[in-house]
Amino acid sequence: MKVFRGLPNAESRAPCALTIGNFDGVHRGHQALLAQVREAATRLNLDAAVMTFEPHPREFFAQLAGTPEKAPQRIANLRDKLQSLSNAGVDRVIVEHFNANFAALSPQDFIEKILIQGLHVRWLLVGEDFCFGSRRAGNIQTLIDAGKQYGFEVHTMPNVNNEGVRISSSAIRAALAKTDFPHARQLLGHSYAISGHVVHGKKLGRTIGFPTLNMRVGHKRPALSGIFVVQVHGLGDSPLPAVASLGVRPTVDDSGRVLLETHIFDYSGDCYGKLLRVEFLKKLRDEEKYVDLPTLTAAIERDAQQARAWFKEQASFAVSATDRI
């Protein structure tokens, strides 16, 4: 899969079957839509292409209004989004920088400059509620009219529902806010996880008996925060049980930068630079600002005990379920 920051250069503008959206989380609704794009691209001998935005448009408008706290919380970082799009068979992703110039494009300019000249669209699939262009003035009918004029097909995607409710990134954010991981999993089609490269931290963890592998989250408002039971994928054949903190670490850091820190039980390998995936299983508590390191260490000890107990309980459930077979 090729990834373009902004419109592709002239020689990379192969005609495409396209869809457009934020694709935060690449949930089951997105996956169904992407499968149709893939199918049309193969049938019509086109590239399967996705145009997505960074930052999220609502994040841009929240910043502009001076209310960054109103930006949507992010389910996935860009790496995870691109990985999911690649898994769905997408050939090309255009990551469009959503800024004031882009937001000001009229529907007509969006069609001519982006869809026609920039992307050579031949087949387009969008959701039934799709609006675009300055003040969201363009809609499906605008696209259908433009398709007749410029020669591209326009299709709409019927809603994909879960138990009668449309699956959406917002619904997943709400499930994660309640740390309802089973519901998030149902909507996503897979369990909730964050992946990233392991980076160097303050190296304080090892001095308090809890070495952690640190990953940058890549955005300021993750859909989750707190202390969690997790398992880590990417260090061998099976996932490793662990406990993790996702947040700003108010006791030891005042930069406001969000980090995912994971302590893997009974593990002492070197993980720096590795690409790992941390899967969230259960929330233990919110992050706290402790008065000193010994108090923080005592809290982490309690977290680790609870997480170990949780894994033990799951294992005994699994054994008793096997006994019943």
Ligand X SMILES: Nc1ncnc2c1ncn2[C@@H]1O[C@H](COP(=O)(O)OP(=O)(O)OP(=O)(O)O)[C@@H](O)[C@H]1O
Ligand Y SMILES: Cc1cc2nc3c(=O)[nH]c(=O)nc-3n(C[C@H](O)[C@H](O)[C@H](O)COP(=O)(O)O)c2cc1C
Site residues (CB under 6 A) for ligand X? 21-24, 29-30, 33, 126-127, 129-130, 157, 159-160, 166-170
Structure token digits, residue 158: 């019927």
Query: In one letter, which amino acid is 323?
Result: D
DSSP 271-305: -TT-EEEEEEEEEEE-----SSHHHHHHHHHHHHH
Q: Rule CB under 6 A: is residue 241 a binding residue for ligand Y?
A: no
Q: Rule CB under 6 A: is residue 96 a binding residue for ligand Y?
A: no
Give min distance, CB of 265 to ligand Y, in A. Answer: 11
Give min distance, CB of 245 to ligand Y, in A. Answer: 3
According to CB under 6 A, which one of 22, 77, 212, 231 is a site residue for ligand Y?
212
* Residue number, nearest CB to ligand Y: 201
Residue with smaller CB distance to ligand X, 23 or 280: 23
Q: Residue 170: which of ligand Y, ligand X, none does it interact with, CB under 5 to 8 A by kind?
A: ligand X
- Per the CB < 8 A criterion, the answer to whether 193 and 211 are in contact is no
Q: Residue 130: which of ligand Y, ligand X, none does it interact with, CB under 5 to 8 A by kind?
A: ligand X
Which helix or strand (DSSP H or E) is residue 171 part of? helix 169-177
According to CB under 6 A, which one of 38, 89, 288, 308 is a site residue for ligand Y?
288
Placement of tokens 């880590």 in the chain: 232
d(CA 38, CA 91): 9
- Stretches 58-66, 110-118, 196-204, 272-280: which one binds ligand Y (CB under 6 A)? 196-204
Q: Residue 144: which of ligand X, ligand Y, none does it interact with, CB under 5 to 8 A by kind?
A: none
Bridge partners for 235 per DSSP: none
Distances (CA, A) of 77 to 42, 197, 216, 233: 28, 12, 10, 17
Region 52-71 residues binding ligand Y, contact defined as CB under 6 A:
none
Q: Rule CB under 6 A: is residue 19 a binding residue for ligand Y?
A: no
Q: Residue 201: which of ligand X, ligand Y, none does it interact with, CB under 5 to 8 A by kind?
A: ligand Y
Q: Residue 168: which of ligand X, ligand Y, none does it interact with, CB under 5 to 8 A by kind?
A: ligand X
Residue with smaller CB distance to ligand Y, 193 or 300: 300
d(CA 284, CA 186): 21
- Per the CB < 8 A criterion, the answer to whether 31 and 189 are in contact is yes
Radius of gyration of the chain (CA): 22
Long-range contacts of 313-322 (CB under 8 A, 24+ apart): none
According to CB under 6 A, which one of 204, 218, 235, 314 is a site residue for ligand Y?
204
Q: Residue 180: which of ligand Y, ligand X, none does it interact with, CB under 5 to 8 A by kind?
A: none
